[in-house]
Structure formats: structure tokens, C-alpha cells
Amino acid sequence: MTAPVSIRTFVYPDDLAAVYELWATAGPGLHLGRSDSQAEIAKKLARDPDLFLVAELDGRIVGAVMGGFDGRRGLVYHLGVDATYRKNGIGRQLMDALEARLRAKGCLRSYLLVTHDNLDAQRFYEGQGWEAMDLLIYAKDLDEL
């Protein structure tokens, strides 16, 4: 069953507290870090605000996804749906809307990261046509001296 939600573009700063709370309580698969601070979200929105979407039900944010496009590839940063409303198609609606917006920008391929132990997310994304890649992910903090 698909929940009758409205998908819209995130409004900064009005939606920030609700979305941050949603992400913070989404479970162990969604990891928040330094790049999720208010200042960092504001920087991200300066680049592509149209790729940050929320799902609203009866005036309440019940899902959110943040994506990005660097002119070559897309990236899905966070997808979270309130636990009460999961398995109702909200995640699929958010991802469909994000993918449509990425395609409209000319994006040919997009990526996302899922931890090895997050089997629910793996099944969800594979069900949406995403494929696992055998890669190593490297990271480096650039503000560390």
C-alpha cells in the first residue's frame, strides 16, 4: 500500500529540525556526521537545493532524501523514513522523485553507500534496480592537520 504523501523540495531552514530528527532516529543504517550540521547543509543547498526532498503526510515530514549532482555523477546522501510509515512506498516515492530530478539534470549514473550490516537497505535499493558494486571506499578528512 502506498501512503498518500506529498513529495516536495526541502525548505531551509524551516524543515531542518524535523528532517534532522528523522535522520537521527532512522536507525543504525543512517549515520550522521560533521557534514550534517546546519552550516554544512546550507552549503549543500547552495549547490543543488532541488535535490533535497521531503515526504509530507498531514503537514508532518515523514521521509526525506538528500541527493547531489556534481555535473557528472549523482549521489544519494541520506534516505530516511519514519519507522511508523515504512513499508508504505514512501522511500520509493522519494527515490523516484530524486532520480527523475537527477535525470532532468543530465545525470547518467548515480551512487549511494550502504553499510554491510544494513540488510534492509540493501534489499530496498536492490528492489529499486540499484546494484551492489565490489569497491573499496576511501575517505579523508581535509580539515585535519
- C-alpha grid cell, residue 49: 537545493
Q: How many residues does the chain have?
A: 145
Nearest one of 74, 70, 75, 64 to 30, comparing CA atoms: 64
Do residues 59 and 71 make contact, with C-beta atoms less than 8 angstroms apart? no
Cα 80 from Cα 54, distance rounded (Å): 10
For the entire predicted model, the pTM comes to 0.94
Print the SS3 string covering 103-114: HHCCCCCEEECC
Please, what's the b/e burial string for 50-87 (b: 16 or more CB within 10 A of its CB; e: otherwise)?
ebbbbbbbeeebbbbbbbbbeeeebbbbbbbbbeebbe
pLDDT, tens digit only, all 145 positions of the chain: 566 899 999 999 999 999 999 999 998 889 999 999 999 999 999 999 999 999 999 999 999 999 999 999 999 999 999 999 999 999 999 999 999 999 999 999 999 999 999 999 999 999 999 999 999 999 999 987 6
Fold of 6-127: Aminopeptidase (3.40.630)
Tens-digit pLDDT profile for residues 43-66 = 999 999 999 999 999 999 999 999
Cα 98 from Cα 87, distance rounded (Å): 18
Q: Is 90 exposed, middle or buried (0-12, 13-18, 19+ CB in 10 A)?
A: buried
Nearest one of 5, 95, 13, 102 to 55, comparing CA atoms: 5
- C-alpha grid cell, residue 57: 503526510
